[in-house]
Amino acid sequence: MREFGYERVYDVSGALALLGTDPEARFLGGGTNLVDLMKAGVERPALLVDVQELPLDAIEFTPDGGLRIGATVTNSDLAAHPEVRRHYPALAQALLAGASGQLRNMATVGGNLLQRTRCGYFSDLAKPCNKRVPGSGCPAIAGEHHNHAILGASEHCVATHPSDMAVALAAFDAVISYETAGGPGELPIAEFYAPVGGTPHIETALPPGALITGVTLPPAPVAAHSRYRKVRERASYAFAVGSIAAALDVRDGTVAEVRLAFGAVASRPWRARAAERALTGGPASAEAYAAAADAELAAAEALPENGYKVTLTRNLVVAVLSELAEEAAR
Ligand SMILES: Cc1cc2nc3c(=O)[nH]c(=O)nc-3n(C[C@H](O)[C@H](O)[C@H](O)COP(=O)(O)OP(=O)(O)OC[C@H]3O[C@@H](n4cnc5c(N)ncnc54)[C@H](O)[C@@H]3O)c2cc1C
Ligand code: SF4
């Protein structure tokens, strides 16, 4: 591992100033992803700027009834927060489905959003990878890709984004706030993750050197009736092979409002807008859920080994929406 410096910062301006002095510096949250990548030689920062003591660890209501979550809130604290559990249960469930208790105690909201893909070629320095070394190629397409993307990928990269938390945030229209030396900014989560195209190494729309300061969830009464379901190859320490965050409001048998986002199918959490449009105003029935999933997944482009994700995601839509509708009818 390359020798590196370490600085702990206590205010946002100090963090930005330190990062600005060194193009090879990186912010350090819980370190649960960055340090692993440093050990593998994928990341080689000259300086780590530890942001964990910044005053960004609050979870509080916004004046309009939404929730503002600081960037250094740990995954454990966010999952356990009573207002998150009451108003956005799918978010708490998504967090608890990720990693392990010890990792969640360390991992932060900012770091979780920016964690890197678990594509095996990305962390193997002996292999080419367009995300790690632009222009070097994508061996996953003809190689090991059973857990790679079926939506929104390109011939340059078919990696998925590994975060469970981000899938729930996508369903709830989260807005990500950041600070740069030039001032603050915001990005809706739909614009936060960059399209893959020919530049898979550019993963977000964050300006260079930006510090994520928090995430705001707009008020969404439907989110109180939500669920996160994750399918994985073993019960713990495993990333999703498919997941869904869903929220449903049914009135007199008709879908009044629905939110759907899929995980493990794309380079970003996949908000299923076509499925939402197909369902809204129509019957709350298993047939309608399946047809809506088909409408969304019509755009899927499977590789030889990952076509199962189309069926898996379709089944998740039908199962989770059926459960939510049944619960609402009780
Ligand atoms: C064994 C294992 C299993 C896991 N399983 C899952 C799983 O099932 N589901 C899941 O979702 N995740 C899983 N994870 C990933 C885990 O959730 C992430 O590693 C964690 O959320 C990253 O948060 P962190 O604070 O530790 O980030 P760090 O490792 O500190 O940082 C990650 C990236 O974010 C940047 N960064 C951190 N904070 C900020 C900030 N405030 N502003 C700007 N940049 C910032 C860093 O520079 C770095 O590039 C697993 C991890 C491990 C090791
Ligand atoms: S899928 Fe993306 S991350 Fe994986 S090898 Fe291809 S370019 Fe690299």
pLDDT tens digits, one per residue of 185-224: 999 999 999 999 999 999 999 999 999 999 999 999 999 9
Contact call for residues 66 and 25 (beta carbons, < 8 A): no
Question: How many whole angstroms separate alpha carbon 27 and alpha carbon 79?
Answer: 23
Pocket test for ligand 1, best of 11, 115, 239 (most atoms within 8 A of CB): 115
- Could you tell me the sign of the dihedral formed by the alpha carbons of 323, 326, 327, 328, in that order? positive
pLDDT of residue 20: 82
Ligand 2 proximity of 149 Cβ (cutoff 6 Å): no
Separation CA 316–CA 198 (nearest Å): 31
**CB-ligand 2 contact for 200 (6 Å cutoff):** yes
Encode pLDDT of 32-74 as tens digits: 999 999 999 999 999 999 999 999 999 999 999 999 999 999 9
Measured from the Cβ of residue 56, the count of other Cβ atoms closer than 10 Å reads 23
Per-residue pLDDT tens digits for 152-190: 999 999 999 999 999 999 999 999 999 999 999 999 999
Q: What is the pLDDT of residue 80?
A: 98
Report yes or no: 90 and 246 within 8 Å, Cβ to Cβ. Answer: yes
Ligand 1 centre and the CA of 114: distance in Å? 7
Quick one: which of 248, 263, 132 has its CA closest to 189?
263
- Could you tell me whether strands 47-50 and 5-8 are parallel, antiparallel, or unpaired per DSSP bridges? parallel
Distance 318 CA to ligand 2 centre (A): 31
Task: Report whether residue 130 contacts ligand 2, using a CB cutoff of 6 Å.
Answer: yes
Structure-block tokens of residue 107: 């991992």
What does the block give as tokens for 241?
Answer: 């092979």
Q: Mean pLDDT over residues 252-257, rounded?
A: 97
The predicted structure's pLDDT at residue 329: 82
Query: Distance between the two ends of the chain, CA-based, in angstroms?
Result: 57
CA 203 to ligand 1 centroid distance, Å: 14
Judge whether residue 236 has pLDDT over 90: no
pTM: 0.98
Q: Ramachandran region of residue 96, left (φ > 0), alpha (ψ -120 to 50) or beta?
A: alpha
Taking CB atoms and a 6 Å cutoff, what residues make up the pocket around ligand 1?
A: 26-34, 36, 51, 71, 75, 98-99, 103, 106-108, 110-112, 114-115, 162-165, 211-212, 237, 239
Largest CA distance in the chain: 64
Ligand 1 atom closest to residue 43's alpha carbon, by position in its atom list:
49
Backbone angles phi, psi at 7, to 5 degrees: -135, 135
Give the side-chain half-sphere CA count within 13 A for 133.
14
Q: Using alpha carbons only, give the angle 230, 232, 234 rounded to the nearest 5 degrees.
A: 130
Helix (H, G, I), strand (E, B) or coil at 110: helix
- The residue with tokens 């994928």 is 42
Which of helix, strand or coil describes residue 243? Answer: strand
Alpha carbon nearest to ligand 2 atom 3, residue? 122
Q: Give the pLDDT confidence of 271-320 residue by residue, as tens digits.
A: 999 999 999 999 999 999 999 999 999 999 999 999 999 999 999 999 99
Ligand 2 centroid to Cα of residue 165, in Å, is: 22
Q: How far is the CA of 113 from the centre of ligand 1 (A)?
A: 7
3-state helix, strand, coil in the chain (%, to 5): 30, 25, 45
Residues of the chain with pLDDT > 90, as a percent, come to: 96
Mutate to test the pocket of ligand 2, among 116, 119, 150 (most ligand atoms within 8 A of CB): 119
